[in-house]
Amino acid sequence: MNRRSLTARGMACLVAGILLAVAANVATSRPLLYVAVLLIALPLISALSVFLPRRSGDVTRVISTDLLAVGEVSRVSVRVDLRAGRPTGTWRDTLPPAVRGDAHGEYPGENETLRYDLEGVRRGISTLGPLVLRTVDGFGLTQREQAFGDTRTITVVPQVLALPPLATRVGAAGGTAQTRSSRLGQGADNLIPRPYMSGDSRRRIHWRATAHRGDLMVRQEEEEASPDAVVVLDRAAARWDRPGDDPDPAFETAVSLCASAALRFVQDGYSVDVVDSAGTLLGALRGHEDDRDGLMVALASVSPRGEARDLRTVVGNTPPGPLVIITGRIDATDADQLSTAGAAAPMLFAVHAASDALAAAAAHGWNTAAVTPDGDLAEAWADALPQAGASHV
């Protein structure tokens, strides 16, 4: 490890012994030489007592939250099973920059469960661990740091904020939800289940029907012609600052708004597609329990890249009801080229908008709002909500 084997006390003891040995040689003093030898030998004996034991052990971590959101606090329990003796010293768990917490303390015993709180501070997927035990001899002269156990992946997802609902429900194509069912693809859970076939995803297993019939059953689901709502995260590289060691507050705000908007629509009863500006699907929310987690994991590692495509190509042929696009640096020229794709409720949020960009977008039918990293996202969302009965084609 990075720490020196000798503590400050051990180093002082060794230096004092060497100086006394020199002084004893000059003064030809045998008692002084005895003291010098003792001071030199003590750190060496202490080092043997610390480094000779071949200590090994297992470490198991349990985190109370599978996905840790930015600003959220989770409890971590670390079970340590050591072999070859009890260390006398301290412990610390190695934390990545994505989280913070007081992951250290005095080690209480040979086999113990250590607990600490962990707070998400940066979106991303990183590793937690290994656990480091610092062993110190009884005199406090030497120390040994040893890592135990494997690391564990920890996913910090964007913060989700409570947003107000739309004033009225709007569907696809200007107010009427257009979906068709062909008993395929992804849809609701209350459709008739069918027997499991080779190639079916295990995520589609209908556990209640499986338990009832005794055979593995999967959901017979519907295929949507178009989602009710679309949320577009414009992550084109030209819209954002270059990524560096520190996260871009503007882009982090955009990702948080993206997640919050998608989950707001789900609460309002919409099916939601979340895509980026190149048309890549980031998540599809169809009412399944694992849809939310899939979207949040995808948003945990998203970053600015690539170029944007025409929004009509991204959305598809069938206009959605609510359409939200979250972008960064745009000017009036960009806004003039931004089609609402026939959406019933188009909403545009920009983090780095030029002074005339939002006015240009509003002239083309967008409900707009400026967003700032330190601003109130719920207030910006409320400003951009279309009025009841309003529609754009």
Question: Residue 39: which H helix or E strand, with range?
Answer: helix 30-51
In a domain, 28, yes or no: yes
Quick one: CA dihedral 257, 259, 263, 266, positive or negative? positive
Find the CATH number of the domain harbouring 84: 2.60.40.10
pLDDT of 181 over the 80 cut = no
Tell me the per-residue pLDDT of 355-371, one tens digit each, with 9 for 90 and over.
899 999 999 999 999 99
pLDDT of 184 over the 90 cut = no
Distance between alpha carbon 124 and the CA centroid of its chain, in Å?
Answer: 4
Instruction: Please tell me the total count of domains within the chain.
Output: 4
Between CA 296 and CA 256 the distance in angstroms is 10
Least confident of 14-18, 95-99, 107-111, 335-339: 107-111
Across the beta sheet with 322-330, the strand order is 281-285, 272-276, 229-233, 322-330, 345-353, 367-370
pLDDT interval class at 110 (50, 70, 90): low
The neighbour count for residue 281, using CB atoms within 10 Å, is 11
In this prediction the pTM is 0.76
Same domain, 26 and 143: no
In a domain, 163, yes or no: no
- Per-residue pLDDT at 299: 95
Domain, as residue range, for 190: 181-223
Tell me the per-residue pLDDT of 318-344, one tens digit each, with 9 for 90 and over.
778 899 999 999 999 999 988 888 888
Find the CATH number of the domain harbouring 256: 3.40.50
Q: What torsion, rounded to 10 degrees, do the Cα atoms 115, 116, 119, 123 define?
A: -50
Amino acid at position 321, single letter: G
In a domain, 102, yes or no: yes
Tokens (6 digits) for 136: 């110190």
Same domain, 34 and 144: no
State the average pLDDT for the chain. 83
In a domain, 1, yes or no: no
Same domain, 204 and 339: no
Amino acid at position 363, single letter: A
Q: Tokens 């260390």 label which residue?
A: 87
Same domain, 208 and 234: no
In a domain, 283, yes or no: yes
Tell me the per-residue pLDDT of 195-214, one tens digit each, with 9 for 90 and over.
877 666 655 667 667 766 76
Same domain, 262 and 149: no
In a domain, 391, yes or no: no
Same domain, 217 and 236: no
Between CA 242 and CA 337 the distance in angstroms is 24
Between CA 292 and CA 266 the distance in angstroms is 10
Q: Which of these, 95, 66, 61, lies nearest to 79 by C-alpha position?
A: 61
List beta partners, residue 367: 347
Q: Which of these, 275, 282, 80, 265, lies nearest to 177 by C-alpha position?
A: 265
Half-sphere exposure of 333 (CA within 13 A, CB side): 0
Amino acid at position 281, single letter: L
pLDDT of 72 over the 50 cut = yes
Between CA 10 and CA 224 the distance in angstroms is 72
Same domain, 83 and 37: no
Same domain, 231 and 343: yes
Which residue among 157, 192, 211 closes a domain?
157
- Per-residue pLDDT at 244: 62
Same domain, 377 and 248: yes
Tell me the per-residue pLDDT of 46-61, one tens digit each, with 9 for 90 and over.
888 777 777 777 888 9
Between CA 45 and CA 35 the distance in angstroms is 15
In a domain, 13, yes or no: yes
Q: Tokens 């499991």 label which residue?
A: 196
Same domain, 103 and 198: no
In a domain, 167, yes or no: no
Same domain, 212 and 236: no
Same domain, 264 and 351: yes
